Amino acid sequence: MLLRLAFLISTAAAATFVHHFQRLELTSRPKLVIDLDNTCYSHSCGLNASLISAIDAYAQTKLGYDFESAKTESTRLYRQYGMTSKGLARDHNINLKDYEDFIDQNVDYTTIGHDDRLLELLKKVEADVIVFTNSGIKHTTRTLEILGVLPYVHMVIYAECMDPEFTVKPFQEAYGRVETLLQSDPSNLYFLDDNETNVRVAQERGWNVAHVFEFQEDAVVPSKNAIQVIKYIYDTPSVFSDLFAN
């Protein structure tokens, strides 16, 4: 098993980095690229809501905003930069360690637990498993550890909000860096995300995609513009059957 923290310099004109944590050697197999929040766990469990509340609380506690102003500022930063923490770093010059420690202490991780179904899915998939997230490394690894699936993840590609050069989903450059890092043709990338915009960008680049959308039991959810929709990550074999041949 390979355990290392690595950074890859992009081949783009400007020297930029892909922040990633690699656990297992990559193979020539296809890559199952999965989002973390609201994808690896259910939206309804409450973890992501707790994460958002913790970010808003940071804006109140550390930046002096009242409740409503904190939510407004968090939303603005998310829309402008793709993630709130990146906006906090850019516009408010936050201390990354202080921010990550605050989030870690204020997110309710008891909302999730060991997930046998997800573990079984990742054991069976005939692909390298890549987690591609806009979250930081501390939240990402803690979540994957609690779910019990970290040993089956080949690589985590995460967001580093203190790096002024990094980009996140849904910006095209973020996807291009993933392709370069994995040295994989887009046709060999199979992508799951709960954010439809993120999925559409990947589709435009030639990735195989599915939108994880926790719809109501009786709802009819048609595919939109050739984007397949699944309710939970456990339903992955129904859309990417070629990754589960055996």
**Tens-place pLDDT, residues 91-124:** 998 887 788 889 999 999 999 999 999 999 999 9
CATH number 3.40.50.1000 is the correct assignment for the domain at 4-43+112-244: yes
DSSP 220: -
**Percentage of the chain lying above the pLDDT 70 cut:** 86
**Above 60 in pLDDT, residue 195?**
yes
When mean pLDDT is compared over 49-63, 86-100, 213-227, the highest value belongs to 49-63
The pLDDT, as a whole number, for residue 176 is: 93
User: What's the per-residue H, E or C state across 50-104?
Assistant: HHHHHHHHHHHHHHCCCHHHHHHHHHHHHHHHCCHHHHHHHHHCCCHHHHHHHHH
Q: pTM for the full model?
A: 0.87
**Tens-place pLDDT, residues 140-167:** 999 999 999 999 999 999 987 666 567 8
Domain boundaries, the chain: 4-43+112-244, 47-107
**Tens-place pLDDT, residues 37-55:** 999 999 999 999 999 999 9
17 contacts 163 by C-beta, under 8 angstroms: yes
What mean pLDDT value characterizes the chain? 87
The pLDDT, as a whole number, for residue 217 is: 61
Q: Which residue has the higher pLDDT, 195 or 226?
A: 195
Q: Which of 51, 62, 17, 12 is nearest to 159 (CA)?
A: 17
Question: Which amino acid appears at position 212 of this protein?
Answer: V
**Above 80 in pLDDT, residue 87?**
yes
66 contacts 77 by C-beta, under 8 angstroms: no
Rounded Cα distance between 67 and 82, Å, is: 22
> Right CATH number for 47-107 from 2.40.30.10, 1.20.1250.20, 1.10.150.450, 1.25.40.20?
1.10.150.450
The pLDDT, as a whole number, for residue 7 is: 33
